[in-house]
């Protein structure tokens, strides 16, 4: 199911009420070339019925643009349930119920919701609404808008229905969605929860976000061959020994801000061994090269992010696993070559025909990812999901989502 979000215009008199100067409404620059860079898909449609089947959609959707350039959100199906299997219930208005109900009977719509946000659009609701019988379980009030304002026109973010400077609220929305590598206690792995807790602290008289992640202890690695490295079980620890034992799965070559300092790329280890990269090199074919230092490991079945900087600010709130020097990822035409012991383990070469939108990583949509299958642009796309503070789109240190159709 696809939900279309159309930015609405706002009278100038309402600019101040929404936290934006009047000049921002008169003289704002045009919207960015890619509307999805500032559009968050967090308003999933309600459950629906298909006969006796209740269909529930995923809470987070994927943004794409229609032929007019308008952002739209696609929400995949998360769950299907046959109500008839629940003691003969029926499905009505997206809910499993015992008997049919009369939608909207006795519903009065005179309590408008508080102002809120739809992506970067601040919205003020009308004082009265109308009951929509299609909303489960028995109809619900729907309110139109008195005003809607595009906060991005003044380089602000929409928070709680108002336009504010994102730097003033670094924990809203929560940027803590890139947990660090796991840990080991003997052969017992411990993983970090995928979503962390954000705490604001003051650095140089301005608020910055600080992330902390809860841990979850995993089952012990099986004896006698099980070993734990970076929170994952492995058969052994060794150097890469054959082409394809590492896969380049994501390349941040054209970040939206911070320039080359925010560049990074991701390696995936498809083997059951933890792979030590000591002495391996990463290079292009134009003379740029970097020798990887000691104690750098790609966990079995896991990812490793190598970045130009270990500063979380240019990287959108997360810290790469390793910092390289002497290598710049060109936007239009370049190569990444990973070699160990004189053997080329992985190579990806791209041109300006490959995905290259600013603010989106070049993301491998292949599953499972393989070095043999990632050599052409057809299996790569501009990343469809946000991470960290939302400045860029990508999926560092986790499996990539499928490329949009």
Range of the structural domain that residue 158 is part of: 2-164
| pLDDT value at residue 258 | 66
What is the pLDDT averaged over residues 381-402? 93
Q: Has residue 128 been placed in a domain?
A: yes
Listed residues 120, 142, 164: the one ending a domain: 164
Is the peptide bond preceding residue 137 cis, with omega within 30 degrees of 0?
A: yes
| pLDDT value at residue 24 | 42
Domain CATH for 337:
2.60.40.1260
Asked if 85 contacts 115 with a C-beta cutoff of 8 angstroms, the reply is no
The C-alpha atoms of residue 394 and residue 252 are separated, in whole angstroms, by 8
- Of all residues in the chain, the percent with pLDDT exceeding 70 is 91
Quick: pLDDT tens for 220-250.
999 888 999 999 999 999 999 999 999 999 9
Distances (CA, A) of 402 to 98, 316, 368, 405: 38, 22, 11, 9
The structural domain count of the chain equals: 2
Cβ-based neighbour number of residue 2 at 10 Å: 11
Same domain, 252 and 371: yes
Listed residues 164, 191, 226: the one ending a domain: 164
Q: Has residue 227 been placed in a domain?
A: no
Whether 11 has a pLDDT exceeding 80, the answer reads no
Quick: pLDDT tens for 300-324.
999 999 999 999 888 988 999 999 9
3-state DSSP assignment of residue 306 = strand
Residue reference for tokens 């966990």:
299
Same domain, 377 and 262: yes
The chain-wide mean pLDDT, for the chain, equals: 88
Interior CA angle at 55 toward 50 and 57, to 5°? Answer: 140
Phi-psi region of 88 (alpha: psi -120 to 50; beta: other; left: phi over 0): left
Which residues have C-beta within 8 Å of that of residue 350, sequence separation ≥ 6? 251, 253, 333, 334, 335, 362, 377, 380
Cβ-based neighbour number of residue 67 at 10 Å: 5
Whether 389 has a pLDDT exceeding 90, the answer reads no
Output 141 or 3, whichever has higher pLDDT. Answer: 141
Closest alpha carbon to 200 in 183, 187, 182, 212: 212
Same domain, 149 and 273: no
């Amino acid at each position: 199911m696809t939900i279309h979000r159309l930015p609405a215009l706002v009278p100038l008199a309402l600019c101040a009420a929404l936290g934006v100067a009047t000049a921002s409404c008169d003289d704002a620059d045009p919207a960015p070339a890619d509307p999805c860079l500032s559009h968050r898909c967090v308003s999933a449609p309600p459950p629906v019925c298909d006969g006796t089947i209740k269909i529930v959609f995923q809470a987070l959707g994927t943004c794409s643009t229609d032929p007019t350039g308008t952002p739209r959100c696609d929400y995949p199906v998360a769950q299907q349930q046959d109500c008839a299997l629940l003691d003969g219930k029926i499905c009505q208005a997206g809910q499993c119920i015992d008997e049919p109900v009369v939608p909207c009977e006795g519903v009065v719509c005179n309590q408008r919701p508080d102002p809120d946000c739809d992506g970067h659009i601040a919205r003020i609701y009308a004082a009265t609404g109308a009951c929509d019988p299609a909303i489960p379980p028995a109809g619900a009030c729907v309110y139109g808008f008195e005003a809607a304002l595009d906060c991005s026109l003044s380089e602000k973010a929409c928070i709680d229905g108002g336009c504010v400077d994102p730097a003033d609220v670094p924990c809203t929305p929560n940027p803590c969605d890139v947990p660090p590598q796991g840990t080991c206690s003997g052969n017992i792995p411990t993983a970090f929860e995928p979503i962390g807790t954000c705490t604001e602290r003051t650095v140089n008289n301005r608020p910055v976000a600080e992330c902390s992640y809860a841990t979850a202890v995993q089952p012990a690695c099986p004896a006698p061959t099980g070993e734990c490295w970076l929170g994952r079980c492995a058969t052994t620890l060794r150097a890469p020994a054959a082409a394809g034992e590492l896969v380049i799965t994501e390349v941040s070559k054209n970040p939206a801000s911070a320039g080359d300092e925010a560049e990074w790329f991701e390696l995936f280890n498809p083997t059951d061994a933890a792979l030590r990269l000591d002495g391996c090199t990463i290079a292009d074919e134009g003379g740029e090269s970097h020798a990887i230092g000691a104690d750098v490991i790609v966990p079995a079945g896991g990812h490793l992010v190598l970045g130009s900087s270990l500063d979380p600010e240019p990287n959108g709130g997360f810290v790469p696993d390793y910092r390289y020097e002497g290598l710049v990822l060109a936007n239009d035409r370049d190569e990444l070559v990973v070699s160990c012991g004189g053997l080329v383990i992985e190579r990806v070469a791209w041109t300006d025909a490959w995905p290259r939108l600013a603010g989106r990583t070049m993301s491998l949509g292949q599953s499972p990812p393989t070095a043999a299958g990632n050599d052409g642009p057809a299996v790569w796309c501009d990343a469809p999901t946000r991470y960290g503070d939302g400045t860029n789109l990508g999926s560092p240190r986790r499996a990539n989502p499928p490329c949009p159709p």
